[in-house]
Structure 1
Amino acid sequence: MVKKTKRSEGQITISRGTLKGRKITFPNLDDLRPTPLRVREAVFSMIHPTVKSHAFVDLFCGSGGMAFEAWSCGFRPIYYAESNAAARESLKRNSARMGVEVLGAFATAVELIEHLKEKVSGAERPFLFYADPPYRNYMNSSALIHKLFEPPLFPEGSLLLIEHEKGTTTPFHPRLIIKKEKKYGRSLISQCLLT
């Protein structure tokens, strides 16, 4: 009997837009949880009205499923952060293979936010931030949320979507207004307005 070995790479399929049906490969890593198809579809149904008006920023990019789906749906420009070097290399390969232009690719969400803060005065459109931090590091995301509100402020109409484990509290900031929340399996998606 041949013993099955764990595949070194996983795959997800883009579900909508110009890249629909294309596959993204990513390394199998303990902390990398690709967003399930059902959740991806729910998120993009929720944010569809912002496609033509917002830049898309993935603060914990992982497999790239959300960022590539955003590009496929028409979000421009795209920015992302991913701390794992192997995952970052995979994101670069997938971007080149599918012709996805990424304006900013950073090792940490903090670096990405600081980069965007430097350009905020010339920003042509508001930002849609997507945050799906590893569940075990979820509490660290509160400090990250506060960083979003350090001056200079992001353009009016900027949004934050945060995916977190059901039963955890949405990070609080007095200028973060929760517009809607939806549950999908273990996940809770909170859509918030940065004011």
Structure 2
Amino acid sequence: MSLRIHGNRSLKTLPGDGTRPTPARVREALFNIWLGKIEGCRWLDLCAGSGAMGAEALSRGASQVVGIEQWGKACGVIQQNWQQVAKPQQPFQVLRGDVLKRLPQLSGQVFDRIYFDPPYASSLYEPVLEAIAQLHLLSPDGEMAVECDRQRPAPNPPVSLQLTREKPYGNTLLRFYKSHQN
């Protein structure tokens, strides 16, 4: 499959349906929503798949990108894709493993933008939102986007995260969360 990002850059993808890259239309919409908020941000890409979202963030000036992906072959592709688009001053890291086991290793770090795109039928939605809240991974002014099937009921976020908006794109739905301001 051919996959292109900002600047008409081509990315590698794995054959088959082991990863499900975010559709170009959804990717473009997200980066339009977050226009002006990517340059200099710290980006966390959960269930990173092909790494297209992190690559897009790097190409738009994110200061740091961290990705978590369970599938080893996908981690190799992500590493190659990010290496291709990152500038020397843009650190990035690809962590292989179960997202719920890897998130605690990020304790003490804070991210301005978090993108979470698990397999749509997975049971990861609520536990990952809970882990992000407990570990304080989302910066106070940051925002998290969660990609899911449009028919999927919204997960119950922990009290420290607030669902702020939903944007449908065909069968895909983006849900946006911010830190709850008391």
Q: Greater CA radius of gyration, 1 or 2?
A: 1
Distance 1:53 1:25, change over 3 A: closer
Q: Does residue 1:171 correspond to 2:155, yes or no?
A: yes
Asked if 2 retains the 8 angstrom alpha-carbon contact of 1:79 and 1:105, the reply is yes
Offset of 1:112 from its aligned partner?
Answer: 4.1
Provide, for residues 119-163 of structure 1, a one-character-per-residue CA deviation record: whole Å limited to 9, x for no partner.
33xx5xx421101111121x3221111111214564312321001
Query: How far 1:49 moved relative to its partner?
Result: 3.3
**What is the one-letter code of the residue matched to 1:189?**
L
Deviation at 1:51, TM superposition (A): 1.6
Partner residue, 2:173 = 188
Deviations 1:93-135 (A, max 9, x none): 2233334544321123234422221x33xx5xx4211011111
TM-score, normalised via structure 1 length:
0.81
Letter in 1 for 2:69: E
Check whether the contact 2:78–2:94 (CA below 8 A) recurs between aligned residues: no
Within the candidate set 75, 86, 103, 1:113 is matched to: 103
Mapped to 1, the partners of 2:149 and 2:117 lie a distance apart of 10
Query: C-alpha distance in 2, partners of 1:188/1:54?
Result: 23
Aligned length: 176
- Look up the match of 2:43: 56
Higher relative helix content:
1
Distance in 1, matches of 2:46 and 2:173, equals: 17
- Shift, 1:176, TM fit: 1.7
Q: Is the 1:95–1:102 Cα contact (8 Å) retained in structure 2?
A: no
CA distance 1:152–1:47, shift in 2 (3 Å): closer
Q: Which amino acid aligns with 2:128?
A: L
2:130 aligned with 1:150: no
Q: Hey, what does 1:86 align to over in structure 2? A: 73
Aligned partner of 1:70 in structure 2 is 57
1:136 aligns with 2:121: yes
More strand by percentage? 2
**Secondary structure at 2:32 match in 1:** helix
Q: CA deviation at 1:53?
A: 5.3
- AA matched with 2:134: E
* TM-score, length-scaled by structure 2: 0.86
* Cα separation, 1, equivalents of 2:69 and 2:154: 22
Partner of 2:11: 24
The answer (yes or no) to whether the contact 2:142–2:179 under 8 Å persists in 1 is yes
Mark the runs of 5 or more structure 1 residues left unpaired by the alignment: 1-9
Secondary structure at the aligned position of 2:139 is classed as: coil
Aligned-residue Cα RMSD (Å) equals 2.0
The whole-number CA distance in structure 1 between the counterparts of 2:160 and 2:126 is: 13
